[in-house]
Every structure is written in structure tokens, then in C-alpha cells.
Amino acid sequence: MFKGTTILCVQRDGKVALGGDGQVTLGNTIMKATARKVRPMAEGKVIAGFAGSTADAFTLFERFEAKLKAHNNLLTRAAIEMAKEWRSDRMLRKLEAMLIVANAEHAFIISGTGDIIEPEDGILAIGSGGAYAMAAARALMRHSQLSAREMVQESLTVSGEICIYSNCELTILEL
């Protein structure tokens, strides 16, 4: 598991929201509180977030965006091709990051081990605070009528209050 961030994706009622905290940690020191770890892609049709090494994540963002372009912004096809390349390319295999990518219909975690994980319940999380955020989102999904965006905001706030590698300076994107 990657330390230093919390990324959460929630799909609900035809909407998808993806958010991340803003903390950048180096060892046991907070280096920055307002980093943006989520971004739009494919002319705003896809949203993506990362956990792990920043430089590695930007490399992955660039590669994934190229896959989207090559496959007419088809998220599933681009995710499969990205995972295949990431798993087989020597340089990419050494990258220490994970991605969550989503559009209005699908959401996936993509890892360097070739995993492409689509949620059964519409909730995905990565990073050191991911389990906290996922637990909060699952409880909210079962016991509230909050929107996807509101669930991401509340769940990331809970995680930021618990995980020492996360904070409550949130960036949230929605489709």
C-alpha cells in the first residue's frame, strides 16, 4: 500500500465523484497541504486520481491519457491496454503508484501488477487512508441519500481525521 494520500471514487445515481486529500508527506514530515492528486482527462469525460510517487503518477497519467486518445476515449479499453503495458514494460513496472480512473459508466483501479478492479458497490479507494474512506463511504451508501460528491467529501474528511498521511484539504471532481 502506498503511504501519503487518500483517493476515493463513488458512483451513485448516474454520477461519479472522485476526490483526494492534499497532503504530501516525506517520511514523517508534511511537505505540502494543498496538492492536487485528481485531474480531468479526455476533455473532461474521464477523471483520474493517484496514490504513490508523484513523478511516477504523472508518467502514468500521461500514458493513460495517450491510451484514451488511441481508443477514442473508451475507458474500459484504455484501462485494459494500460494495465497490459504497465505489466509488461520494464520501465513502467518499476513505477510506484496506482490509479483510479472513472467516467459516468465505469470506474477502475489500475495497478502495475496488471490488476484492473471495477467495484461491485460503486466505491473504490487507494492510498494509506483508502480503507478509512472506503469504510465511511460504504456506511454512507447504506444509510444515507447523500450524492456521490457529498459521500466523497464526507468520507475523505473522516479519513483525513484518522490517517496521519492524509488531510482535509480536498479536491473533488464529478461527472
Helix (H), strand (E), coil (C) string for 99-167: EEEECCCCEEEECCCCCEECCCCCEEEECCCHHHHHHHHHHHHHHCCCCHHHHHHHHHHHHHHHCCCCC
Question: Which residue among 5, 6, 157, 171 is the active-site one?
Answer: 5
Q: Number of helices (H) and strands (E), helices first, in the chain?
A: 5, 11
Catalytic annotation on 157?
Answer: no
- Which has the closest alpha carbon to 84: 62, 107, 58, 114? 114
Cell triple for 173: 471532481
82 Cβ contact list (under 8 Å, min separation 6): 60, 63, 64, 67, 99, 110
Distance CA(167)–CA(158), nearest Å, equals 9
Residues classed as catalytic? 5
